[in-house]
Chains A and B, each alone.
Chain A
Amino acid sequence: MTLIPDPTPTRRPSRAARRARTAAGLILSLVATLLGLLLVTFFIGRIVPIDPVLAVIGERATAAQYAAAREALGLDQPVWMQFLIYVRDALTGNFGTSILTRRPVMEDIARVFPATLELATIATIFGVLLGIPAGVVAATRPGSWIDQLVRLVGLAGYSMPVFWLGLMGLLLFYGILGWVGGPGRLDSGYEMMFEFDVPRVTGMILIDTALAGKWDIFRNAVSHIVLPAGVLGYYSMAYISRMTRSFMMNELSQEYITTARVKGMPEWRVVWVHALRNVMVPLITVIALSYATLLEGSVLTETVFAWPGLGLYITNALFSADMAAVMGGTIVVGAVFVFLNMLSDVLYRLVDPRARS
């Protein structure tokens, strides 16, 4: 019997090729989502009842000045051309000039964004450090008081307005107990010290003061960030603990857990080492998502705590009808949101071999 060689061997695409295809798909969907975001903000910008030309030149301009400004803004072009210009501007970080601060919007955003990032990061750390252990313990003892507590905390988190919780926190911990600093990032005295004595490296007060060794300012900054970060962190914790619990319940019913128990492994090792390691994979997605939600939740929280971040910037711009600043802020938050979503997806694929196929 002779073996007839297959004339057209069907070659499976190599691993690298498959990876490249997945990566290309991810990038394509990222680009599509970002374009969609720009399209939506573009249309929102067009339905504004404020005449953008008048907003730039003022009411008393002549007809010739009006026409010139209109041309300079590209408003005499067809709509699709305007959109292309808009996309080009957005890609180069040109969101126009803020009416309020008279500076480029992008410059403003770069200045305020570290404050938001600092807040959201500390809040996520709160959420992770408290949420994961709470979720794990709740899953190992379903029906116990700690399980009920996790459920209650979650339920309250889904039902309480974040700005109200912030106000109640201020009332209790700042107004009545005096345990924490009030609104703002620093006491006004320290604010001047920070302004003049501390070199800006990251724009995040905690990091910059630690680098400069200004521990008194650092301590004051901590007393100010604890409450807003705690409030935001509460929502993060509610979400993370609930998800941890349900992932963990699922994991603990797997057969390898039974095997580990049968061969006499101590229970803490079964739970905290074997099961938790597998739960960490989907949890990464959850943490990334909650981080993205916190950036969004910062709009209301920053308003309550007079926290000079992106959220407060957008709200202030809103009330001065500073549409360039509102739209710039919206695009930046939206883009960060989209990126974090994508990142969680990629991380998931990297960590879990099962998700790669």
Chain B
Amino acid sequence: MTAMMTWLRDPNPQSRTQARLGQMWLGWLRMRRNPLAMIGLMIVLALLLMAAWAPLLATHDPLTQNLSQRLLPPGSAGHWLGTDEFGRDIWSRIVYGSRVTLYIVGLVALTAPAFGLLIGTVSGYFGGWVDQVLMRITDIFLAFPRLILALALVAALGPGVENAVLAIALTAWPPYARVARAETLTVRSADYIAAVQLQGAGSGRIIWGYVMPMCLPSVIIRVTLDMAGVILTAAGLGFLGLGVQPPMAEWGQMISSGRKFLFDQWWVATVPGLAIFTVSLGFNLLGDGLRDVLDPRSASR
């Protein structure tokens, strides 16, 4: 362990990997001092573990209906968060619902930034009319109301997780394109890019190998900060019945089904909302912390 630490702290790293890991270690040390960011990290880790170990954590089958046990309040024997209108255990449905949330968040986090990164780097690297056209398109998409557009798209494609992901991703990429373009503009005229150009590297290779890596940190921060928004949009679509279809468990849709019993069995709608709130809060806190660590401009504040 101590050998590992000295290796990480070595001021004269022997390899690129060592330098990179050393930097990450320093960043981790800085973030560890931020209690709110650590809470966020723990919430996100808890979500990951919950989704991974769902069958172990769930006390019941999330889909099994038991009408003799319907609408039990929290604290009932065997159902510590109560049951819904079909007698399904709410805790187990929350646990399995985390998989859906994570699935949506994961897919959006992979597709939208990748697309935005591509548009932004190409736009920034080539400049000229390419830049004009691509940024015009980005601006147009940025000017749209996101939820409404996602709604219209899901309405057209039909409800379902994949379509919800597609709709969210299609409305989420423009900010990443903007961020990536801004970063690209700052590195485009750097000497090391000129050196690669002189060695005869093609545009594709330069963008992929030398520009994109420089844009990644800013995009990653943006992604983490946006994840809460993605979760809320996904929950909104689920609430309107356009996300995951019943009987599968999804948090937004669980709230929607609990609406009918709001005044008599408050917990059916309340508990899934708390889950959404906690997870979004986790991503927000983690995003804030990451920004402070990875973005030197805001660290000085």
Contact = CB atoms under 8 A, between A and B. Distances in A.
Interface in B168-183: none
Choose among B149, B158, B229, B242 the residue with the greatest number of A CB atoms under 10 Å from its CB: B149
Interface string B228-245: 110010011001111000
A220 interface: no
Interface residues of A, number: 50
Given A164-B269, A318-B240, A40 B144 contact: yes
Interface in B115-152: 136-137, 139-141, 143-149, 151-152
A44 interface: yes
Contacts of A318: 151, 155, 240, 242
A170 B255 CA distance: 14
A11 B109 CA distance: 52
Contact of B143 (A33, A297, A314, A321): A33
B273 interface: yes
Contacts of B263: 171, 175
Contacts of B269: 164, 167, 171
Contact of A341 (B143, B232, B259, B285): B143
B279 to A, nearest CB: 8
A279 B225 CA distance: 26
A334 B255 contact: no
B235 A161 contact: yes
Given A168-B270, A300-B240, A161 B155 contact: no
Main secondary structure of the interface of B (DSSP, over half): helix
A159 interface: yes
B290 to A, nearest CB: 15
B276 interface: yes
Contact of A167 (B155, B156, B255, B281): B255
B153 A319 contact: no
B280 interface: yes
B24 interface: no
Interface of B: 136-137, 139-141, 143-149, 151-153, 155-158, 228-229, 232, 235-236, 239-242, 252, 255, 259, 262-263, 266, 269-270, 273, 276-277, 280-281, 284-285
Q: Which 4 A-B pairs have the closest CB atoms?
A: A36-B140, A164-B273, A159-B280, A296-B145
Interface of A: 29, 32-33, 36-37, 40-41, 44-45, 47-49, 155-156, 158-164, 167-168, 170-171, 175, 292-293, 295-297, 299-300, 303-304, 314-315, 318-319, 321, 323, 326-327, 329-330, 333-334, 337-338, 341
